[in-house]
Structure 1
Amino acid sequence: MTAMPTRGAGERLWIGTFLVLGSLTAFGPLAIDLYLPAMPDLARVLGTSDSLAQLTISTCLVGLAVGQLVAGPLSDRVGRRWPLLIGVILFTITSVLCALSTSIWVLLVLRLLQGLCGAAGVVIARAIVRDMFEGHRTAKAFSHLMLITGVAPIVAPLLGGQILRFTDWRGLFVGLGAISVLILLGCVLVLRETHPPHLRQRGGAAGTFLSLRGLLADPVFRGYLIIGGLQSASLFTYISMSSFVLRQEYGVSPQGFSLVFAVNAVGLVLGSQVNGALVSRFGPERLLTVQLVMMCVAAAGVVGAALADAGLVVLLVPLWIVMVGMGGMGANTTALALIPYGHAAGSASALIGTSQFLVGAAVAPLASLVGTDSRVMGATIALATVLSLVALWRVHHARRTTPAHSEPLTTTT
């Protein structure tokens, strides 16, 4: 097994590596969104309620969150390649077993295991990017990966709908297993070890605990962790409430909703690509500040349009601007959190991913208890964005007062 050039060598993602890493980071959307069109059919065949059928999404989300805390630190100790390959293999197996489920309770357990296994791909892919790149190039690489990650939530349910023309919900899980086989083949052929033995952590479980505790004790890392979690809360809120806002409140047709959802996804991807083009010149920290301010203004516009009942177009324009800002800030936040911790990129990536899944999955349902209209959606996004700005101010304060972080990252030549 040959080590991939790291830290200064190999300053770009080859097309194959880019596609494989992007596919790995899309494990979450693939595992959750691909079978959404078949949820009613699943509930009917297994003889269960809609709420229990929807619980298969929650159990997978829990697995994706918790699994990262296992796979990420493990990859710091034993290297990236083998935990990644084992995770993808087990994800493939559990996907096929899901297709063979005969009861909802068996499926719930398998979905939890599927999430735990898929988490390895999500968390280790981020760590590999950090292994391969330094400085602002890390943010640029994450921006490029958003081409796949941002499109996956849109393509997955559409692909699932097309597969359903020829099969049932079981066939969707078989299809998910087939997709993971292709990703596994790409991992074997393209990805090599990026975390050589002399950089690996020692100390077993105790060393892992100390590493995680050290990361959480760092006010700068903690600030970016909070910003990433709040960004995820905004995105989950939009995803969970948009159908209610557009279809029930504004009377948009299913086709119109799909179009709006796709346009906003384009905004998400566009924001990430503009960020990738600008980050070498301005640096991820400066761009993150601009993006958060832009999102605050746009989120206020969403709230204003909702309160004034100004019409659908007036609501959608600032919402699209929020999506553009979100696409860029995701790459910058992840890069800024990981850059100082190349020696513990797996553990740092695990905390980032877990916080995003848990905070995002918790805030959206809590907000929906207040309501699912445009005012609640806009206010939740606005509050999360304002709190992100406060967290970023705390990061700047920590950089001024903490010697280890006294030099902010801007650009490199």
Structure 2
Amino acid sequence: MQSKEQQKVSMFSQPMALWAVIFACIIAFMGLGLVDPILPSIAKNFNASDSDVTLLFTSYNAVMAIAMLITGVISSRLGIKWTLIMGVIIIALFSFLGGLSNGVWGLVLLRGGWGLGNAMFVATALTAVVSMSKTGVARSIILFEVAVGLGISVGPLLGGELGSISWRGPFFGVAGLMVIAFILLMTLMPSPKRQAQSAARKKTSLLDPFRALKNRALRTFGIAAFLYNFGFFTLLVYAALVLGHIHHFDEHQLGYVFLGWGLLLAFTSVFVAPKLQKWQGTVPAMCVQLLLFAVTLFVIANWTYEKEVVVWMVILSGAFLGNNNTLITTGVMNASTIERSTASAAYSFLRFIGGAIAPYLAGKLSEWYNPHMPFTVGGTCVVLSVIFLWFNRKHLKHVDAVEGH
């Protein structure tokens, strides 16, 4: 619900504590695309196969998925501030250790640790942004998506620039930025004493996210996200390997391609998605955007060896993913009366399970069949997510009613 007072306040007129969380969010989401431009370099340095290096994303997402189930338990006992700070410390530690790694399997394990920190931070950050914002749920989610988009877009650029010096550079870079985030959160976030008192009023249990999935609307969004993440991470991870191995892109070039992708993602998530939601409704708009994303994957599947086609389809897909990210996040937040942190944890668990399977599957499909197959399978999974959403749309009608109210 958004009051008249909230509507009058600018989306960017927020407390300093919220901006500290937003800054940390940007750095945390850099981790998603930061490794992209250096995947071919890591494969070359460690003499690893494509499926081996995709495990950097599989371990990251798998740990995130499982850890999402305990974030509510931790944050309800420690409070938002200390959960965020713990997440930042863990990210900084494991990214720094990743930069010291001397083998692909050690790097895979350390990326899993990075995923643990990210899970603690991301699930709590969305709750923190919504609770501290002066502008209501809808516009605070857009602000969160700005941070997501900036992090995802700047990550590949930073990864490409630092990766051109050494593949270790991006890992050390994130560790350094997280130290800055730690200082900002420590000094600007509200006092932990007040938060601890608030948290003590209601402590969540490990079973709460599973209970939350009994809600038909939340479960529908989670399964849809599980399916479309096969397409998302096929594009994010395997497309980088195709451009690196087949089209011989270096770290700089890969960084610029995914910078373009991320900038489009950020722009549409903030400026286009809200208009699509008002015009078409959440579920119809999601279905259209996901179908358009599936088309880009099928085009890449058909013209994998055409460099310009792959580059432009990767960049264009960012627009459709940006729209969908905002639409589905808003839908999840309005899906039920369940506490938002619990709803976010339950949904994220399903979403990141898809993100864990997809990268490794893409690498294996290319080894078993050919470079076209991962994109074909990814696009098919995205289409299945649309079919699933459409057949369950009657359980999601209230999402727009809540938003409108």
- Place the TM-score, normalised by the shorter chain, in its bin: 0.7 to 0.9
Map residues 10-159 of structure 1 onto 2, 5 A cutoff. Answer: 12-13=11-12, 14=14, 16=16, 17-18=18-19, 20-24=21-25, 26-27=27-28, 29-30=30-31, 33=34, 37=38, 50=48, 58-98=58-98, 110-132=110-132, 134-159=136-161
What's 1:371 paired with? 366
Structure 2: state its 5+ residue gaps: none
* Correspondent of 1:185 among 183, 186, 189: 183
1:64 deviates by 3.0
Question: Match for residue 229 of structure 2?
Answer: 232
Find the residue that maps to 2:401 and give its secondary structure.
coil
Equivalent position of 1:4 in the other structure = none
Structure 2 residue matching 1:290: 3-state secondary structure: helix
Measure, in 2, the Cα distance between the counterparts of 1:111 and 1:41.
13
What do residues 106-140 of structure 1 show as CA deviations (whole Å, max 9, x unaligned)? 76655443432332112211221332454432442
- Taking every aligned residue pair, what percent have the same amino acid on both sides? 18
- Provide the rounded CA distance (Å) in 2 between the counterparts of 1:311 and 1:25: 33
> What letter is aligned with 1:92?
A
User: Which piece of structure 1 moves more, 358-367 or 17-26?
Assistant: 17-26
1:348 corresponds to 2:350: no
Q: 1:357 is matched with which residue: 352, 358, 364?
A: 352
Aligned length: 389
Structure 1 alignment gaps of length 5 or more: 1-6
User: Could you tell me whether the CA contact under 8 Å between 1:27 and 1:118 is conserved in 2?
Assistant: yes
Q: Which residue pairs with 1:261 in the alignment?
A: 258
Match of 1:327 in 2: 322
2:157–2:256 CA contact under 8 A, matched in 1:
no
Q: Which residue of 2 aligns with 1:3?
A: none
What is the rounded CA distance, in whole Å, between the counterparts of 1:411 and 1:80 in structure 2? 29
* 2:91–2:118 contact (8 Å) kept in structure 1: yes
Whole-angstrom distance in 2 between the partners of 1:242 and 1:31: 14
Q: Is 1:387 the counterpart of 2:384 in the alignment?
A: yes
Cα distance, 1:98 vs structure 2: 4.9
* TM-score, normalised relative to structure 2: 0.76
Q: Establish whether residue 408 from structure 1 lines up as the match of residue 401 from structure 2.
A: yes
- 1:290 maps to a residue whose letter is A
Bigger drift between 223-232 and 255-264 goes to: 255-264
Structure 1 residue 272 displacement after superposition:
1.3
1:99 to 1:393, Cα distance in 2 relative to 1, 3 A:
closer
What amino acid maps onto 1:351 in structure 2?
A: A
Deviation at 1:105, TM superposition (A): 7.2
1:286 corresponds to which residue? 281
Give, in whole Å, the separation in 1 of the partners of 2:303 and 2:213. Answer: 42
Instruction: Summarize the Cα distance change of 1:19–1:132 in structure 2 as closer, same or farther, 3 Å threshold.
Output: closer
Shift of residue 365, structure 1, vs aligned partner: 2.6
With normalisation by structure 1, the TM-score equals 0.75
* Structure showing greater Rg: 1
Q: What SS does the corresponding residue of 2:190 show, helix, strand or coil?
A: coil
Counterpart amino acid of residue 278 in structure 2: F
Cα contact 2:217–2:335 (8 A) shared by 1 = no
Deviations 1:37-74 (A, max 9, x none): 49867996xxx763677755544443333333222342
Q: Which amino acid aligns with 1:231?
A: Y
Secondary structure of the 1:217 match is coil
Q: For residues 274 and 54 of structure 1, do their structure 2 counterparts lie closer, same or farther at Cα, with a shift above 3 Å needed?
A: closer
Shift of residue 92 of structure 1? 3.1
* Matched letter for residue 176 of structure 1: V
Superposition deviation, residue 277 in structure 1: 5.5
